[in-house]
Amino acid sequence: MNYAKKTLLYFIGHTSVGIIALLYAVFSSFSGGYREGMISGIIGGFITTGVLGIFFSLRLMKNPKRAAEVEMVKNEERTQFLRMKTSAAIFSVMIYAESAGILVTGLLGFREICLTLATILIIKVILYIGFASYYSKKY
C-alpha cells in the first residue's frame, strides 16, 4: 500500500504543476506564438497525466491485494536488475544517438542545435563519471 500512496502523492504534485501553469496562463498576457504553445502543452500534459495517475492510484488503493502484489513485484530483485540493465542500454544508445545528432547538425550548419546537443552530451558524460566514481567507492 505504501507504493500506491507514494504514487498518489506524486500525481497530486504532477497535477498541481499543471494547475499552477494554468493559473499562470490565465493571469499573464501572451502575445501568442511559441510561449503560448509551450504553456498550453505544459498545462495539457501535466493535468492529463496527473488526473489519470490519481485515478489509477486510487483504484490500486481500493484493491489491497493487487496493491500488495504490485509493491512486491516493484521491489523484487529481478525487476530491479532488469530496470538497471534497461537504463544502462538506453544510456548507451542515447550517447550514440546524440553523437550522431551532433555530427549531422554540425555538418548541416545548425550551430545552436549542435552546441546544445554537445553540451547535453558533455554534462551526461560528466554525471556518468561522477556517479560511477561515487558508487565504486560506496559499494
Residue 18's nearest CA partner among 40, 37, 1 is: 40
Residues 118 and 71 both lie in one domain: no
Quote the number of domains for the chain: 2
State the chain's mean pLDDT as an integer. 89
Q: Which of 35, 57, 75 is the last residue of a domain?
A: 75
pLDDT for 64 equals: 84
In the listed set 75, 99, 123, which residue is the last one of a domain according to the structure? 75
Same domain, 11 and 71: yes
What pLDDT is recorded for position 1?
59
Q: How many beta carbons lie within 10 A of that of residue 42, not counting itself? A: 17
**Same domain, residue pair 39 and 71:** yes
Q: What are phi and psi of 59, to 5 degrees?
A: -65, -40
Tell whether 18 and 57 lie within a shared domain.
Answer: yes
For 82, the domain range is 78-138
- Is pLDDT at 35 greater than 90 in this prediction? no
6 and 71 assigned to the same domain:
yes
Among 16-20, 66-70, 101-105, the least confident range: 66-70
Q: What is the CA radius of gyration of the chain?
A: 21
70 and 90 in a common domain: no
